[in-house]
Structure 1
Amino acid sequence: MVRRKWNLKGIALGAAFFAASAAVLTFYVWYQTESVKLGLDIAKLDDRIRELEKDIEALKLRKASLLDPGRVERIAREKLGLVDPEDAAVVYERPGTSR
C-alpha cells in the first residue's frame, strides 16, 4: 500500500470550496427564511388593511346618521329646548352694514 502525501494546495482548495459552499448555502437559507417572513408580514398587513377599510365604511355610515338634519333638529328641540324664532325676532341686515 502506497501512502499519498497530503498536498497543501489541494487541502487549501478543498477547504476554500467547502467554506464557499457553506457560505452560499447559509445565505440561501437566510434569504428564503426572510422571504417567508416578509410574505407572512404582507399577509398580516393586507388583513389589517381590509379591517381598517371596513372600519372606515362603518364610520362613514355612522357620520352620515349623526349628521342627518332630521336627527340634529330633533335633538335641538327635545334635548336643548330650541324653538323656531318668531317672525319679529328675525332681523335682516343689508350686506355691507355691520353693528
Structure 2
Amino acid sequence: MDQPVLPQQFVRLLNDLFRITADRLTPSTTFEDLGLDSLALMELVVSAEQECGLVLPERAMDLTPGTRLDEAARVLSAAVPSQQGADTPSALEAS
C-alpha cells in the first residue's frame, strides 16, 4: 500500500521557509525530526495565513515540535475551505 502524500503546497511552504527538501518530508515525520521548534512553527502558521489570505483557527496554534506532518497538513488544510466556502478547493491541498 502506498504511503499517503502530503499536500504539495504544504511541502512547498516548508521548503520555502526552512529549505527542507521534499525527500525528508513524510506524513509520519515530526517537526522535531526536522529540527523545527515552536518559534519556527509560529512562522509556518503566519506564512500559511499570508499565503492563503485567512486567519487560521486556534487549533492551528496548537502545533508542537512533536506534531506529525500529516496532522499539521490536515489542520491547516481543514481551515481553508471553512473560510473560503465549501466549493473552493483548499490552497493547502494537493494540486
Is TM-score (shorter-chain normalized) higher than 0.5?
no
Shorter-chain TM band: under 0.3
TM-score scaled by length of structure 2: 0.21
Structure holding more helix per residue: 1
Considering Cα pairs closer than 8 Å and 6+ residues apart, tell me whether 1 or 2 has the greater RCO.
Answer: 2
TM-score scaled by length of structure 1: 0.20
